[in-house]
Structure 1
């Protein structure tokens, strides 16, 4: 009976079937572990994406707020510039001081400033001193 070729063939077929089942089960376990690892990775990536999305939304809100603030500041700067021009037109003395400051920048001496701008010596000296402080 043990040496019967049909019995040996059946026993070999059974052993091969068991081996095939063992290999299939092993491959299934490996694929299950990979699937679980991929699921964990997917959840982690989703959390990261949500976190980055939230940060991006916060940055966008900050940028919008900053843009509004810059627009307000530009408007204020425009009004101040207009007021400064109005004051310069109303005050003829400021034209003389602007001219004197320009002359100082170009290297004029006290005598030239006094003569061209009809300015007393003390004011001309002050203009020269202020220019030296700026440099």
Structure 2
């Protein structure tokens, strides 16, 4: 039995050594896991700070976008008003030209200049003085 007792004692010693090794391994694993968790916690906090900064920046950009949008709407409204005014003024100018006999003569004279008429032809056809016919020709040349 003596041999059996030594065998049991050897098994107990091996089991005790294995338990101590397992305890050391487990303790090391616990230490390593805690270290990793601490690093993860720090990274999570850093990401939270970045997210908070991004949200603040996003809110500021949303406010700026709303201001730009409102400004663009105001500008669009003003452009529409100016287009309507320009259209009205153009119609009024056309009406004045149609009712003013002198304007008809000058318009006809300008058409003749564009078609290549000289000062004498313009004077004769439009019944304009020489100075005014020359002025029409000069204005046409400057416009080109």
TM-score (norm 1): 0.90
The answer for the alignment partner of 1:40 in structure 2 is: 49
The one of 45, 56, 60 aligned to 1:51 = 60
The one of 53, 60, 63 aligned to 2:69 = 60
Once structures 1 and 2 are overlaid, which stretch shifts more, 54-63 or 23-32? 23-32
How far apart, in 2, do the equivalents of 1:65 and 1:24 lie? 60
The one of 65, 71, 78 aligned to 2:80 = 71
The one of 110, 116, 119 aligned to 2:119 = 110
How far apart, in 2, do the equivalents of 1:120 and 1:36 lie? 90
- Unaligned runs of at least 5 residues, structure 2: 1-11
How far apart, in 1, do the equivalents of 2:58 and 2:132 lie? 67
Tell me the alpha carbon deviations over residues 53-90 of structure 1, each in whole angstroms, 9 at most, x when there is no partner: 01110111101110111121122112211211221122
CA RMSD of aligned residues (A): 1.8
- Cα deviation, residue 107, structure 1: 2.0
Q: Any residues of structure 2 matched to 1:1-135 within 5 Å, and which?
A: 4-135=13-144
Which stretches of structure 1, 4 residues or more, deviate above 3 A after TM superposition? none
- Could you say which structure has the larger radius of gyration? 2
How far apart, in 2, do the equivalents of 1:31 and 1:106 lie? 85
Name the SS for the 2:116 alignment partner: coil
How far apart, in 1, do the equivalents of 2:106 and 2:34 lie? 96
- Unaligned runs of at least 5 residues, structure 1: none
TM-score (norm 2): 0.85
How far apart, in 2, do the equivalents of 1:45 and 1:52 lie? 10
What is the aligned length?
134
- Cα deviation, residue 23, structure 1: 1.6
